[in-house]
Amino acid sequence: MITYCSSCGSKTEPRLVAKQDLRACPKCDRIFFRNPKVVVIALIEDAGRVLLGRRDIEPGRGLWGLPGGYVDWDEHPEAALVRECREEMQVEVEPLELLPLQHIIVDDEGIVFLPYRARLVAGQPAAGDEVQEVGWFKPTGLPPLAFPSHRQVLQRWVQDLATRSVA
Ligand SMILES: [Zn+2]
């Protein structure tokens, strides 16, 4: 919540704007609209295995997840994806395809979650920022995951693999 106005420093007050409970500045009348954040994650697949990292930060420290993170305000989501994979896994990836997006409400935040299928183009995966270790996992041996959103992407991947092996 925005407690102080970022324009004039006055204490904000609640205001109903277009049916939304927002904060507004009583002095300069600035309204603090609330927008979702954008998160990208990468599904990097190789020979029927997926690349995951064990998180070294909360939430979900010690559990596993796909590489990714928040998109900077002026950054293309695909550029954010490449940057996050470089930081967390020390690899270069190429985004291939946007998978079905998810809309998530976590605590008091709205998140638009963009999962990309991506291809490893350079580097050996190794633990980078905020990651304890990295590993390749088969669909039958996925480790404990930190987030339902990642689980959903991986479940879809597992189904996809099953369909591909039948075809
Ligand atoms: Zn103000």
Question: Which pLDDT band, with edges at 50, 70 and 90, does 38 fall under?
Answer: very high
Confidence check: pLDDT of 11 > 90 = yes
Report how far ligand 1's centroid is from the alpha carbon of 37 (Å).
24
Question: Which pLDDT band, with edges at 50, 70 and 90, does 25 fall under?
Answer: very high
Report how far ligand 1's centroid is from the alpha carbon of 26 (Å).
7
141-150 pLDDT per residue, tens = 999 999 999 9
Domain parsing of the chain, residue ranges: 1-34, 37-166
Report how far ligand 1's centroid is from the alpha carbon of 111 (Å).
27
Average pLDDT over residues 151-162: 94
Report how far ligand 1's centroid is from the alpha carbon of 25 (Å).
5
Q: How do the residues of the chain divide into helix, strand and coil, expressed in percent and rounded to 5?
A: 20, 40, 35
Report how far ligand 1's centroid is from the alpha carbon of 123 (Å).
49
Residues contacting residue 79 through CB under 8 Å, at least 6 positions apart: none
pLDDT of residue 167: 65
**Domain 37-166 = CATH 3.40.50.720:** no
Helix (H/G/I), strand (E/B), else coil: 38: strand
Report how far ligand 1's centroid is from the alpha carbon of 106 (Å).
28
Average pLDDT over residues 84-112: 96
Report how far ligand 1's centroid is from the alpha carbon of 96 (Å).
44
* Average pLDDT score over the chain: 95
Residue closest to 66 by CA, chosen among 79, 87, 77, 50: 50
**Domain 1-34 = CATH 2.20.70:** yes
Q: What is the pTM of this model?
A: 0.88
Report how far ligand 1's centroid is from the alpha carbon of 16 (Å).
17
Average pLDDT over residues 110-127: 97
pLDDT of residue 35: 94
> Which residues place a Cβ less than 5 A from the ion ligand 1?
5, 7-8, 10, 25, 27-28, 30
Confidence check: pLDDT of 120 > 70 = yes
Average pLDDT over residues 57-70: 96
